[in-house]
Amino acid sequence: MFALSEEHRQIQDLAREFAREHVAPGAAARDKSGAFPADVVQQLGELGFLGMFVPQDLGGAGLDVLSYVLALEEVCYADASVGVIMSVQNSLAGWPILAFGTDEQKAKWLTPLATGERIGCYALTEPMAGSDAGAQQTRATPVDGGYRLDGAKMWITNGPQAGICVTYANLDVASRHKGVCAFIVDTTTPGFRVGKIEEKLGLHASGTCELVYENLFVPKEQLLHAERQGFQVAMATLDGGRIGIAAQSLGIAQRCLDLAVAYAKERKAFGKAIAEQQAIQWKIADMRCRIEAARLLTWRAAWLKGQGDRASAECSMAKLMASETANFCAYEALQIFGGYGFSKEYEVERLYRDARITTLYEGTSEIQRLVIARSTIG
Ligand code: CAA
């Protein structure tokens, strides 16, 4: 695939226009205040960007994974905090319900996610289950008509705002991943509460928190897929989530490159623009090469995931390359800006902080390498 179709180009243009006009202008202020961008999220819902895979008859846009990647990169180019809200809503909350839900579950839960009426989140990580996701300690106890959940999750993106939370809990902690079940939890249910809200290095406008489950009743109709199949739901969902973080990383990286080029053409040293100095030219060339390579991997992963194949290694390759590229480009852009890049007056300072999480969440770079190596070595 070397060129986008006309339809994909139109989606990219629409997202670019929207993001530059409506998302970018408030990004610096939101970074400072940490305010959740409720107005922008509502507009994303109206555009169909919160339910990109959800069929149109359920209120979504009914588009493919590549369309999602193209739109998400544009939103993240403007503000990566807004981008991760969109990414979690589509990839981590909506997708597992679409892929594993019954018709009744899809009809009930996907429309409010697609329209943005309710924010979605994905609750897998626990204090002692981060990279080792199979070590789930949150308990699911079977009771009449459903299950009782007890435990705590942490680092949950969209958690403070979420109305719908795809939650993983274990029927039998001793059997590790083989006891895990996935549940659709309505956060208005008694026994659910938002715990500690994290103060973070970057992505200030996206909420991240602890979630606490205390004797929370979930009806059996809200079990997603089958009992003890939750780990497969979690992992298949993360494959797609990693494509979303790759797209987010591309948006950050491209913004770094564009800002660095503009500045290098303007800033003079030793009697000429620094863009004419080879030291700067090589940085620009390396940034562009890495971005374009990561973008091709991301588009391929999106296409493969869209075919319905398991594409874990390809998703991990895209995420690894794109997230490391975002950090590389943020570092080099700041270097090109010199001391100005260290100042909060310049956008590269925010990009540098926002880029940092991309090699950590939805699987660290080390976990992506583990997935790729296992698939390569067998
Ligand atoms: N799709 C479907 N099934 C999968 C799968 C996939 N991608 N990956 C694994 N599985 C299945 C396996 O086939 C296996 O099934 P069986 O029991 O039937 O054999 C089962 O799951 C267990 O697989 P592994 O033996 O590979 O499991 P493991 O314990 O070695 O763990 C891991 C594998 C890749 C390390 C996994 O634990 C992992 O991805 N860890 C990282 C977790 C992560 O990314 N967390 C991010 C949290 S979410 C987040 O950040 C969201 C946010 O808020 C933005």
Task: List, in order of start, the domains of the chain with CATH numbers.
Answer: 6-118 (1.10.540.10), 121-231 (2.40.110.10), 232-377 (1.20.140.10)
- The reply to whether ligand 1 has any atom less than 6 angstroms from the CB of 362 is yes
The C-alpha atoms of residue 148 and residue 189 are separated, in whole angstroms, by: 12
pLDDT one-digit tens code per residue, 338-359 = 999 999 999 999 999 999 999 9
Spacing, Cα 132 to ligand 1 middle (Å): 8
CB burial class (10 A; 0-12, 13-18, 19+) of residue 329? buried
pLDDT for position 309: 84
Give the position of tokens 């006009």.
21
The C-alpha atoms of residue 277 and residue 185 are separated, in whole angstroms, by: 56
| Contact between residue 246 and residue 323 where contact means Cβ atoms under 8 Å apart | yes
155: Cα separation from own chain's centroid: 13
Atom of ligand 1 nearest to the CA of 364: 44
**Catalytic site positions:** 362
The single-letter code of the amino acid at 11 is I
- The reply to whether ligand 1 has any atom less than 6 angstroms from the CB of 231 is yes
Confidence band of 1 (pLDDT split at 50, 70, 90): low
The C-alpha atoms of residue 318 and residue 199 are separated, in whole angstroms, by: 28
Atom of ligand 1 nearest to the CA of 310: 1
pLDDT one-digit tens code per residue, 302-335 = 999 999 989 999 999 999 999 999 999 999 999 9
The C-alpha atoms of residue 205 and residue 36 are separated, in whole angstroms, by: 5
- The reply to whether ligand 1 has any atom less than 6 angstroms from the CB of 154 is no
Spacing, Cα 227 to ligand 1 middle (Å): 17
pLDDT one-digit tens code per residue, 219-259 = 999 999 999 999 999 999 999 999 999 999 999 999 999 99
pLDDT one-digit tens code per residue, 76-134 = 999 999 999 999 999 999 999 999 999 999 999 999 999 999 999 999 999 999 999 99
CB burial class (10 A; 0-12, 13-18, 19+) of residue 340? middle
Kindly report whether the global pTM for this prediction surpasses the value 0.95. Answer: yes
- 3-state SS class at 58: helix
Phi, psi of 115 (to 5 degrees): -85, -15
- The reply to whether ligand 1 has any atom less than 6 angstroms from the CB of 371 is yes
Atom of ligand 1 nearest to the CA of 92: 51
Spacing, Cα 234 to ligand 1 middle (Å): 7
- The reply to whether ligand 1 has any atom less than 6 angstroms from the CB of 124 is yes
Spacing, Cα 376 to ligand 1 middle (Å): 16
